[in-house]
Structure 1
C-alpha cells in the first residue's frame, strides 16, 4: 500500500492550554487523490440498495456484517477480503456478506484507537497517513466486489470515507450522542444503532427516531471549513443487539420484549444481532452458537431478524499489541478464524435453502 497523503505543514502551539494542532488535508483533497471511479460508485450504490431491500423485507436474504474486530495490518486485511469475496459469491442467493472494515476503535479508557488514528502501531498517531491508508484499503475491498461496513466514531473522519460505505454502525457508547444522531441523519447508507451498554434498546430506538428526522447542525464541509450542515433524515436505520452488562439479549424472550417496545413506539421492526460482545461474553468461539440460535428464530418465522454480525479474522483469538505480532490475528477483541467462519456461513446457507 502506498499512503502518499501527508499532513500539511502547519503546527501551532496554543499557549493557553498547550494544545498542538497539525492540519490535515480536507476530505475533498483526499477523495481527489484516492478517487472512487464511476463504475465503483455505481457498485456501492447497488450494494446500499441491496441492504435497504433486506431492511424493508423486499429481499429475503440475511445481511451478514463479517470481518476483523479492527483492521491493523493491510496485508492480512486484504487476504481476508479476498477469501470473503469468494465466499460471498458461493452464498449470494441466501445472504449478503458485507466486509467489516473497522478503522476506528472506541476505548473505555485508553489504548490503540485504530488504523485511522495510529497506522504505524507505535503511538505516533499519524492520522493523515491513517486516513489515507484506511481509504486505500476500503477501495481495494470494493474492487474485490465487496460491500464495506465500518463504525463511524469521529464525525470529522466520516467525510473521508462516507462515499465508500454500504453500511454503518453507531456503537453502544455513541448511540446516545446527539452529534452521532445528527451525523446519521445525513448519511446516504443504512445505519445500525447498537443498544446501550446496559443492554436496553431504548437509547437505540431514540437514536433511530432522531436520525430519521432532518437536522441542522454544526459541522465541517468537504473543504474543511466550519459549516451549518442541513440533513434530510435517514429512513434506513435499524437496531443492533449486542447484549449488555446483565448478559445477552439475543434470546427469544429478550427479542419479544424488544418487538413490543418497537411496536409501541412505531419504529420499524428491523433487528440485527451482534454475535460478539456481551452476547458472547467476549468469547469469540461462542459466536457460531449464537448465530445458529438467531438463525433458528429467523427460520421459525421472525422476519424482523434481518441479519447478524460476526467478528472474524484469518486466525482465531486475539493478541496484545507488541513488536512481534502474529499474522492475521486481531489486536483488539478476539475473533473467530476464517475457516470456522466459512463453515458456519456455508452450513447456514444450506439450512436456509433446505427450509425454503
Structure 2
C-alpha cells in the first residue's frame, strides 16, 4: 500500500480479499439450487405483478450474527411457510449488513467475530456457507443490498432484495438496484413524501450505467436496463 502525504493518509491497514469468483468456487451452487432460486424469484415477481394472488411476506431476524441460531430459526420458518402457503408466500430475511446512523456493529460480513477484528473475508465465507445451507432447505431468501460490492459475492443466493430507508434515495444504491437480478423493494425514506417515494421505483433511463466488480475482481462499467420488478 502506497502511503505518503497525498495518499492513504487515514488508512492504517489493508486486507486483500478473495475475488467473487474464488468465493463462489469454494462454495458453489448446484444446478438444482440455481433452478430453485430462479423459480422463487419468478414467484415473487408474479405476486408483485398480481399474477399470483398470494401475499408476499418478507420476515425474519433483524440481522444474522450466529449461523446455528439462524438455521434453527429457518427450520421453524420452513414449517410455518408450508402451513400458510395457500395464501402467503414467506421469504426469510437473512441480513448480513446493517446500516448505522452513527456507530455500532455493522453486521456479520463486516465483523463476523463481533470483536472489532473486521475479518471481512471470513464474514463473506461464513455468509455464503450459511446461505447455501438455507437454500438447500428449500427457502427463498431476502437481504438488504447495502455495500455495492456484496452482490457479486452473495447475490446469486437471494430471491429478493431491499434498499434500506437510509439509502433509498442514494444514487449509488438506485443504480445498484437496477443491476440486481432479482425483485427489489424500496423502504420508505426518512421524512419521505409519497410522491417522491414512488419515483424511486421508476427504472432509470437506458443510458444509466453502474461501476461494479466482475466475478474476477475487475472493475467494469455495466449498462443497465432498469428495474423490472420493484415495490
TM-score (norm 2): 0.94
Q: CA deviation at 1:226?
A: 1.5
Q: CA deviation at 1:73?
A: 0.8
Output one character per residue of 1:187-225: Cα deviation in whole Å (capped at 9) or x when no partner: 111000111111433443232114585622222211111
1:147 aligned to 140, 147, 154, which one? Answer: 140
Q: CA deviation at 1:18?
A: 4.2
User: Which residue is 2:215 aligned to?
Assistant: 222
Matched residues, number: 227
Q: Which runs of 4+ in 1 moved over 6 A?
A: none
| 1:134 aligned counterpart, secondary structure | helix
1:84 aligned to 60, 69, 77, which one? Answer: 77
Whether 2:176 is the aligned partner of 1:183: answer yes
Q: CA deviation at 1:13?
A: 5.5
Whether 2:25 is the aligned partner of 1:36: answer no
User: Which residue is 1:14 aligned to?
Assistant: 3
Whether 2:123 is the aligned partner of 1:130: answer yes
Q: Whole-Å Cα distance in 2 between the matches of residues 222 and 212 of structure 1?
A: 26
Q: Contact conserved, 2:162 with 2:184, CA < 8 A, in 1?
A: yes
2:202 aligned to 209, 213, 225, which one? Answer: 209
Output one character per residue of 1:25-56: Cα deviation in whole Å (capped at 9) or x when no partner: 11111111101110000000000000011001
Q: Which structure would you say has the larger Rg?
A: 1
Larger strand proportion of the pair: 1
Q: Whole-Å Cα distance in 1 between the matches of residues 198 and 70 of structure 2?
A: 33
Q: Contact conserved, 2:145 with 2:151, CA < 8 A, in 1?
A: yes
User: Which residue is 1:121 aligned to?
Assistant: 114
Q: Which runs of 5+ in 2 are unaligned?
A: none
Output one character per residue of 1:47-85: Cα deviation in whole Å (capped at 9) or x when no partner: 000001100101111111111000111111110011101
| 1:85 aligned counterpart, secondary structure | helix
User: Which residue is 1:68 aligned to?
Assistant: 61
User: Which residue is 1:196 aligned to?
Assistant: 189
How do residues 242-261 of structure 1 correspond to structure 2 at under 5 angstroms? none
Q: Whole-Å Cα distance in 2 between the matches of residues 138 and 127 of structure 1?
A: 16
1:95 aligned to 84, 88, 91, which one? Answer: 88
TM-score (norm 1): 0.62
Q: Whole-Å Cα distance in 1 between the matches of residues 102 and 49 of structure 2?
A: 38
